[in-house]
Amino acid sequence: MALLSLNLFAQNAQSIVLKKKIEALLSGKKADVAVSISGAGKNDFIEINGGKLYPMLSTVKFPIALTVLSKVEHNELSMNQKIFIRKEELLENTWSPFKKEHPEGDISISLEEAMKWMISYSDNNLTDILLRLIGGTEQVQKFIAGKNFIIKNNEEDMHKDWDSQFVNKITPNEAVHLLKEFHKGKLLNKENTKWLYDTMVNNTTGGKRLKGKLPENINVAHRTGTSFTNEKGMTGAINDFGIIELPGKQKIYIAVFVHNTFESFEDSEKIIADISRLTYDFYLKK
């Protein structure tokens, strides 16, 4: 399913005001930052480095979820089917809230439960179990077709060495377009679109990123991604993309990728939060 690039959209004059504010915010930051933002209108769009490929990290769990749910719709899988989680599948030294709760494994859970562990809790072990269930990363690449999205490594592969975590990539423009196509119901049926949207709203990770400076009552359906930090103090990726709900049912589609940052982890997350707040205020007034 090839996705068109948002480069086809022109940036209108009002949006350029927001772009300049974001560029001023980024001035002097010791990081490679990419931003893509789209409102409801066809030309309501801005980008900063939006056409460049950036490492996804755990934001890749969103297209994985889309692929799994597509297979559910084609009756290849069922949300109620049971998946047996073997103890040896629960790897050490990886982010896995499921393993903390079920350290001995050897337990059956439903596909729906496994999906929630992946999307809402960003569990790496459950992500790889789901990838094996659907036939590997190739199935995700096939569903999200196009040169602006690359997936080759699963979570276990991503933890092999420093470079391996950066193999899976997407352009910020493609991430935003994917979010828009998803929310408009062009990728999944109404039931599964709502299920995944609600599960992303309940994401427990990245609370200081897109959601960090927004009012508490504002829903954000989002997916985060985070890399390791090397011995030089550089963090390879601190990402967040998602859909911000405004009063009146208006939606903002936004992706922020903070790449190769020498800012502190807290300040790097703050970059995302500040951009999100600028965007929220801009569209609220608009």
Query: Per residue in 91-130, pLDDT tens?
Result: 999 999 999 999 999 999 999 999 999 999 999 999 999 9
**Cα–Cα dist 219/182, whole Å:** 17
Mean pLDDT of the chain, nearest integer: 94
Q: For the chain, give the number of residues.
A: 286
Percent share of the chain, pLDDT over 90: 89
**Cα–Cα dist 253/38, whole Å:** 5
For the chain, give the longest Cα–Cα distance.
Answer: 57
Mean pLDDT in residue range 14-29 = 93
**Cα–Cα dist 22/254, whole Å:** 13
Please tell me the CATH code under which domain 6-285 is placed: 3.40.710.10
Annotated catalytic residue: which of 15, 58, 120, 122?
58
To the query of whether residue 70 is one of the catalytic residues in this protein, the response is: no
For the cut 70, the answer to whether the pLDDT of residue 3 exceeds it is: no
More confident residue, 38 or 13: 38
Count CA atoms within 13 Å of residue 78 on its CB side: 3
Mean pLDDT in residue range 158-182 = 97
For the cut 50, the answer to whether the pLDDT of residue 4 exceeds it is: no
Query: Per residue in 202-260, pLDDT tens?
Result: 999 999 999 999 999 999 999 999 999 999 999 999 999 999 999 888 899 999 999 99
For the cut 70, the answer to whether the pLDDT of residue 142 exceeds it is: yes
For the cut 60, the answer to whether the pLDDT of residue 162 exceeds it is: yes
Annotated catalytic residue: which of 155, 174, 263, 269?
155
Confidence (pTM): 0.93
Per-residue confidence at 12, pLDDT binned at 50, 70, 90?
low
Query: Per residue in 145-154, pLDDT tens?
Result: 989 999 999 9
Sheet with strand 235-245: strands edge to edge: 45-48, 32-38, 251-261, 235-245, 220-226
Indicate the DSSP class of residue 137.
H
Concatenated DSSP letters of 191-206:
HHHHHHHHHHHT--S-
**Cα–Cα dist 212/242, whole Å:** 13
For the cut 70, the answer to whether the pLDDT of residue 19 exceeds it is: yes
To the query of whether residue 191 is one of the catalytic residues in this protein, the response is: no
For the cut 50, the answer to whether the pLDDT of residue 160 exceeds it is: yes
**Cα–Cα dist 2/99, whole Å:** 36
**So what's the pLDDT on residue 16?**
86
Contact 239, 54 (CB under 8 A): yes
Indicate the DSSP class of residue 187.
S
Structure tokens at 54: 């950036």
Indicate the DSSP class of residue 69.
H
Percent share of the chain, pLDDT over 70: 95
Contact 261, 234 (CB under 8 A): yes
**So what's the pLDDT on residue 2?**
41
**So what's the pLDDT on residue 247?**
85
